[in-house]
Amino acid sequence: MLNRQSALTQKLSAYVALSDIDLATLARFDRRRRSFQTGHEMIHEGQKNASAFVLADGWACSYKLLPSGERQIVDFQVPGDFLGLRSILFRTSDHSVEAVTPIEAFEVLTSDILEAFAQAPRLAAAVLWAASRDEAMVVEHLVNIGRRTAEERMAHFLLELGSRLNLVGIGTRSGYPCPLTQNHLADALGLSAVHVNRVLRHLREEGLVTFQKGRVTFDDLDSLKDVAAFDIGYLDQEGPLLR
């Protein structure tokens, strides 16, 4: 069951000091635990009456497919994140979600959300915070693709992932495990896989960050932040605002 150490409670605790009632309400999200293998499409664009999920373990990505077949990854989801929350609010899902690794997730229906908000209203504020934070990240991703150089956008992306994983107890200031391929990075950052390889090599040779064998290692965290002009403020992770 969800508990005080789960990724979801750790994430929401960044905004709300969770009470016992809040925790008990969150624990009921565990009623429909699902497992998915790598590559499984959990939600597809255009799907009606889709479920949402809370990611408990593993990585997923949300994306849009172009008519040409090219893919733009909008974001990656890590433990503690909601998957397809808009899918239970909109009549039709506006994006697709795919498992990047084998994952464990809790299926969440509209009735679950409404019941949780009725029984623990502070959770509504916490979930709204989480959704607003996701929107803030999408804004940064737009700036990344539109205005930052390839090196800047890669540095910013890796730092953002590190901050998000650190919040849920997976990453540290020294780095984090990362299952993403260069093709994933290319689809997220608007680069070719060849360009991704070249940028990562350059950042490694500059002694800033190393991404090898499924792990990101921050070799010079402060200098990497300078390259990306990274300001963590948009992630709003400095401690609970509601107590």
pLDDT tens sequence across 155-185: 999 999 999 999 999 999 999 999 999 999 9
pLDDT score at 241: 41
Q: Which amino acid type is present at position 23?
A: L
Give the per-residue pLDDT at 91. Answer: 74
Greatest C-alpha distance within the chain? 54
Q: List, for residues 76-91, the tens digit of each pLDDT value.
A: 999 999 998 877 777 7
Q: Which domains does the chain have, with CATH numbers?
A: 7-121 (2.60.120.10), 132-235 (1.10.10.10)
pLDDT at 239: 52
Q: What share of the chain is helix, strand, coil (3-state, %, to 5)?
A: 45, 20, 30
CA distance 91 to 81: 21
User: How far is the CA of 161 from the CAs of 59, 61, 243, in angstroms?
Assistant: 12, 13, 27
